[in-house]
Amino acid sequence: MKALITGASGFIGSHLSEWLLKQGFEVHCLIRKTSNLRWIKPLQIHLVEADFSDSQSLDRAVAGMDYIFHLGAVINSNQWETHFRVNFLNTKNLIEACLRNNLKLKKFVLVSSIAAMGPGEKGKFLIETDPCKPRSLYGKSKRLAEKIVLKYKDTIPTAIIRPPNVLGPRQNEMYLATKLIKMRLVPRIGNEDKQTSLCYVGDLVEAIQLVAEREEANGQIYLVTDSNTYAWKEISDQIAKELGTGKLFLRTPYSIQYIIAFISEAISAMTRSTPILTTQDLQSSRHFYWLYDDSKIRRELGFISKTDMKEAVRKTIQWYRDQNMI
């Protein structure tokens, strides 16, 4: 089977590339001239250079593919124009290329996000049919991408996966948190309630393949979690435990974090770069509840996540050690 992956050089995309290769797929990775190929360069993959604004290059990229996994996205930009172009227009252009040049496609899988749904109320687990109320620019643009994919579900097989916060090697935020905790600096995150659902990246890529290959997933949206809920403090405490740092920490208060976020956003606006931390990030983790029910994918496709948060942190910290990153 031939699979085309967009966003293959990123966190989830690189893991998906590795996983599909192990399953015997012929993996093609759509890249740009500026793509950082650090994680996929050693793999036995086919690199396909294309421009999402160039219909001819997209037509060539999708031709003959059995599966297309669309993961390419921008997350942290503070410009709506960037989110709209990368997350929505690129999705629209890619699926329209399939309509022009690959109507025999077995499945177009969009890897979306819980951000497309938005947060819920305290103690309430959201399901796929709940109304979407995205709060961020990223979430709003991903919801638009979902709508364009669903628009064509009767013409070519499509499916959508909404991952929660994903843990695993190469995840930038977790690596930053690990470095800070190793220095005994712990940012205060959340309000110590159970505020978030999680998923380990190794489980997520298995779910992505399953959704692609199962016919009953056609036209469906699936939430993927490890079926548990966590307080943000539980995650940082588990990282500290795996690092063996003990219990002596300097917890960074929200006031300091907000100052850092304001400065980061100001520098980002001047340089048109990605901010390291945003005020929206802080508000999302502090005030909102990102809890989701994964019973649909368990019931309909039989998918059960194998890795809980403690094991996900353990595997990730060990990978950092193996790579001499910590």
Pair of tokens at residue 298: 């368990």
Query: Which residue range forms the structural domain that includes residue 209?
Result: 2-170+199-226+290-306
**How many structural domains are present in the chain?**
1
Give the torsion sign (CA, 93, 96, 101, 102).
positive
Question: Per the domain annotation, does 104 fall within a domain?
Answer: yes
Closest C-alpha to 223, from 290, 310, 140, 156? 290
Mean pLDDT of 140-167: 97
Q: Torsion over CA of 158, 163, 166 and 168, rounded to 10 degrees?
A: -30
Percent of the chain exceeding pLDDT 70 equals 87
Residue 72's nearest CA partner among 119, 118, 32, 99 is: 32
**Helix 232-243 / helix 172-182 crossing angle, nearest 10 deg:** 60
Label residue 266 left, alpha or beta by phi (over 0 means left) and psi (-120 to 50 means alpha).
alpha
52 domain-assigned: yes
Q: Decide: 35 and 13 in contact? Cβ < 8 Å.
A: no
In a domain, 316, yes or no: no
- Per DSSP bridges, beta strands 26-31 and 2-6 are parallel
Q: Is the pLDDT of residue 217 over 80?
A: yes
Mention every residue, 6+ apart, whose C-beta is less than 8 A from residue 251: 186, 187, 188
* pLDDT over 70 (residue 96): yes
Q: Would you state the pLDDT for residue 283?
A: 63
**Has residue 72 got a pLDDT over 80?**
yes
Domain contains 70:
yes
Model confidence at 285, in pLDDT bands (50, 70, 90)? low
Residue 255 included in any domain:
no
**Residues across the chain:** 326
Tokens of 210: 């399953």
Average per-residue pLDDT in the chain?
91
Q: What is the mean pLDDT of residues 161-166?
A: 97
Q: Is residue 185 part of a domain?
A: no
Reference 89, options 68, 74, 107, 109; nearest CA is 74
Residue 86's pLDDT is: 97
**Contacts of 321 by beta carbon, 8 Å cutoff, 6+ apart:** none
* Residue 159 belongs to domain with CATH number: 3.40.50.720
Helix%, strand%, coil% for the chain, nearest 5? 45, 15, 40
- The pLDDT score that the predictor gives to residue 276 is 60
User: What pLDDT is attached to residue 98?
Assistant: 98
Domain for residue 18, yes or no? yes
Neighbours of 120 (CB within 10 A): 18
193-204: pLDDT as tens digits: 889 999 999 999
Between 251 and 230, the more confident residue is 230
Task: Give domain status of residue 248, yes or no.
Answer: no
Structure tokens given for 269: 């606006």
Spatial distance between the Cα atoms of 170 and 176, rounded to a whole number of angstroms: 10
Nearest 5 degrees, angle CA 258-CA 259-CA 265?
85
Query: How do residues 231-262 score in pLDDT, each as one tens digit?
Result: 988 998 999 999 998 765 656 665 665 566 66
